[in-house]
C-alpha cells in the first residue's frame, strides 16, 4: 500500500513552520504517535488500522482513497488487460 500522507499534510494548515500541519498534530488527531506517522510517511509501516486511516483522511479533509492506494498485484493487472 502506498500513501500520500506527507504531501497532503504539508498542504494542510497547522502550527508548524510556514503554517503547515506537523506530524505531531496529525498523529494526535488520528490517535497515532508522531513516530508511527513518520514511519507511515516513509513507507516503513504500510498497514494502518482502518480507524487510523479514516481519521488521517478526515483530519486532512480528503477521501481515504486520496490518501491511500493499494499496489496492483501482477495477477490483477493481467486480469484487467
pLDDT digits (tens, 9 = 90+) for 29-60: 999 999 999 999 999 998 899 999 999 999 99
CA distance 74 to 11: 33
- What pLDDT sits at residue 4? 95
Across the chain, mean pLDDT equals 87
Confidence band for 76, pLDDT divided at 50, 70 and 90: very low
Mean pLDDT value across residues 67-75 = 71
**Topology (CATH) of 2-80:** 434 Repressor (Amino-terminal Domain) (1.10.260)
3-state secondary structure string, the chain?
A: CEECHHHHHHHCECCCHHHECCHHHHHHHHCCCHHHHHHHHHCCCCCCCHHHHHHHHHHHCCCHHHHEECCCCHHHHHHHC
CA distance 54 to 78: 30
Domain range list for the chain = 2-80
Amino acid at each position: 500500500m502506498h500513501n500520500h500522507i506527507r504531501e497532503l499534510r504539508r498542504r494542510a494548515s497547522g502550527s508548524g513552520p510556514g503554517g503547515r500541519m506537523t506530524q505531531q498534530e496529525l498523529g494526535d488527531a488520528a490517535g497515532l504517535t508522531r513516530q508511527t506517522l513518520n514511519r507511515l510517511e516513509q513507507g516503513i509501516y504500510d498497514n494502518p488500522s482502518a480507524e487510523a486511516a479514516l481519521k488521517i483522511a478526515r483530519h486532512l479533509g480528503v477521501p481515504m482513497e486520496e490518501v491511500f492506494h493499494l499496489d496492483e498485484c501482477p495477477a490483477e493487472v493481467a486480469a484487467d488487460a
